[in-house]
Amino acid sequence: MLQLARADATGELLTLAQIAGREGISVANAGKLMWILNKAGLVQSQRGIKGGYHLARPASEIHLNQVIRVLDGERVDSHCKSYAGVLDACVHTGDCGIRPVIVELHQIVDNALSEITLSQLLDTEANVDATLHQIQITKQRTEQRA
C-alpha cells in the first residue's frame, strides 16, 4: 500500500512485478495481496500495456486500521476459535478471564491505527514518530477533559 501511495503522488501505476520487487516478495504473493485489497475497494487495477495498480482513494483517506482489517481478517470472536488447541473450541468459551483483555487490546490497536493514514507514513521515520506522539498527546488531553 505504501508503494502505491508513493506512486499515486506522481500518477504512476505499478505492476505486480514492480510491487513485488519494491517489497521483496514474490509476484504470486503480490498478486494475492492486490486481489484482496482490490476486492475490499482499497486498490484498483487498470488493464492494458500501461496498466497496473493504484489506490482507490487518496492516501490521506485510507487509515491503517482499514488496511489491517482487510489483510488480517481476524476478528476478536474468531481469535478464541483459532487458539483452541486440539479441540474444536477453546475450553474457556463459557467464562474466560483473558477474553476481555484481548478485546480491549484489539480495540486499543484499532483506535490507534484509525488515527494514522497512508499519506502520514510516507514521511520520514522521525516525522512519523513525532506524529504518533502528537496523536497520543491529543488523545490524552481529550480523555482528561471527559
Query: What are the pLDDT digits (tens) for 95-111?
Result: 788 878 888 888 888 88
* Locus of grid cell 484499532: 110
- Is the model's pLDDT at 59 over the cut of 80? yes
Here the cell at position 83 is 487458539
CA dist 103 and 96 (Å) reads 12
CA dist 115 and 134 (Å) reads 11
- 37 DSSP 8-state letter: H
Here the cell at position 18 is 514492480
Measured CA to CA in angstroms, residue 47 lies from 2, 10, 19, 61 at distances of 21, 19, 16, 24
Give the three-class secondary structure for 125: helix
The confidence band for 15, taking pLDDT boundaries of 50, 70 and 90, is very high
